[in-house]
Amino acid sequence: MATINEQDIWEETIYEIATTDDVVGGPGGIANRQAHQLANRTLHLSTGLSTTISSTGTLSTSVSSALSTTVSNIAALSTSTGTGLSTASSNITSLSTATAMQTANAAPVGEVAYFASAALHAGWLKANGAAVSRTTYADLFAAIGTIYGAGDGNKTFHLPDLRGEFIRGFDDGRGIDVGRTFGSGQAEDFRLHNHGPSGIVSASGSVAGSVDAGIALGGSNFWKSTTTAATGGTETRPRNLALLACIKY
C-alpha cells in the first residue's frame, strides 16, 4: 500500500469527483486527487503554523527582554526623577523663602535712600525735585502727594530735592525744631550769640579832645572799635560725603 506524497503548497480549490469520472487510483488517479489536494493544504498549514510558533517564541523572548529593559529604565528614571524632584522641591523651598524675605525687606514706596554709585537703580528715582507723572508713578504720588510741589497741578507732582542738602529729623511735636511742617526746607543759620569787646582802656581824670580817628571818648574811659580778620568759606557745614539721594517708586 502506497502513501500520498504531499507537497507544501496551498491548493486554491478542491476537486469534486463527478459521477461520470472513471475510478482510477494511483499517484495521478482521479480517485486520489481530493486526498492529494487536502494533504497539500494540511502540510502547508502545518508548516506555516510551525514557523509562526517559532517566530512568536523569538518575538516573545525579544518582547520579554525589551519589557525587562523598559521596566529597569523606568525604575532608574523613577529613582532619578525622585531625586531630581526632591532637589527641585528643596530649591523651590529655598527660593520661596528667599523671595519671601526679599519681599518682606523690600523698600516701601516713598523711602529715601543714598547710593554709593552715581548710576540710577531700578525702581528708584533721583530725589532731584523733578516734576514727574502722577499716572506713571501713581503709587509714589499716593504716598507723598504734593508735599514737595504740585507740579502742573494736574498731571505731575514734584519729588523732594535732596541735592546738596543735609537731612534733619522731623520734630513731630518734640519742641526742638519748633514751627516746622513736615517736608519743609530750612535756610542756613547761626544760633544767636555775641562776642564781648576787648581793649577797653581806663584813664584817671577827664580826657578831652580827639586823640585819634576811630577812638571814642567817654568820661574817664576811651576805646577804639576794631574788626577781626575774615576767615572761613561760603557756608557753615560739618564733614560730609556726597552720595546719590533717591526715592523709591
The predicted structure's pLDDT at residue 67: 65
Average the pLDDT over 25-53 and give the result: 74
Residue 70 has pLDDT above 80, yes or no: no
Largest CA distance in the chain: 192
> In this predicted model, which residue has the larger pLDDT, 123 or 3?
123
- pLDDT at position 116 is 95
Residue with cell 510551525: 50
Tell me, what's the pLDDT at 127? Answer: 98
**Residue 104 phi, psi (nearest 5):** -65, -35
Separation CA 241–CA 227 (nearest Å): 34
Average pLDDT rounded to a whole number, residues 34-39: 75
pLDDT value of position 85: 64
Residue 152: its H or E element = none
Q: Is 201 in contact with 225 (CB distance < 8 Å)?
A: no
Residue 58 has a pLDDT of 65
pLDDT for 178: 92
Most confident of the ranges 4-8, 91-95, 119-123:
119-123
pLDDT over 90 for what percent of the chain? 35
pLDDT-derived band at 204 (thresholds 50, 70, 90) equals very low
Give mean pLDDT, residues 160-164.
96
Examine the pLDDT at 235 and tell me if it is beyond 60: yes
Please state the domain extents for the chain.
30-104, 107-180+241-249
Which has the higher per-residue pLDDT, 157 or 219? Answer: 157
Average pLDDT score over the chain = 78
